[in-house]
Amino acid sequence: MLLFFILLLTLSLWKKTTRTADGSCWRATHVAKKTDTPGRFIFHSHVWNDDNDMRIVEVVYDNYALAHTIKTKNGVQLVLNKLYSRTTQASNDLQQKFRQFSLDTGVLAENILILPPNGHICLQGRQRTLLV
């Protein structure tokens, strides 16, 4: 999965992901509002009908980004951590960093998943705009 972060006038975060699933490509775009806390953004997803509190935990712009999101729907909170890589295979050290971060944020070990590489990077995908 590829991820590109762009700060727009320091007021928002534009997140574009290109994904491959079952051999097909699609692109999702989210726009989140910047908060007073550096690296923290919020948005409401009309697709999932939930409120999202997203923090960019660590970024090496030419390699990876680690994001931590607390999703709230009907008063129930869910933690979603994501490791975005610009390559099809994240290093073992980076995968271990992600696992440890997930454990530190309350994710059970059996709920931590590293998807296997699918052999290609999907750069062009069917556009799917998610209104948030």
pTM: 0.72
What does the alpha-carbon distance between residue 131 and residue 16 come to, in Å, rounded to a whole number?
A: 12
Asked if residue 78 has pLDDT above 70, the reply is yes
Which residues does residue 45 pair with via DSSP β-bridges, in sequence order?
A: 50
Question: Is the pLDDT confidence value at 57 over 50?
Answer: yes
Q: What is the pLDDT of residue 105?
A: 95
Reported confidence tier of residue 46, pLDDT bands at 50, 70, 90: confident
The pLDDT, as a whole number, for residue 88 is 76
Hey, what domains does the chain have and what are their CATH numbers?
A: 2-129 (2.40.128.20)
Q: How far apart are CA 34 and CA 36, in angstroms?
A: 7
Q: What confidence tier does 120 reach under pLDDT thresholds 50, 70, 90?
A: low
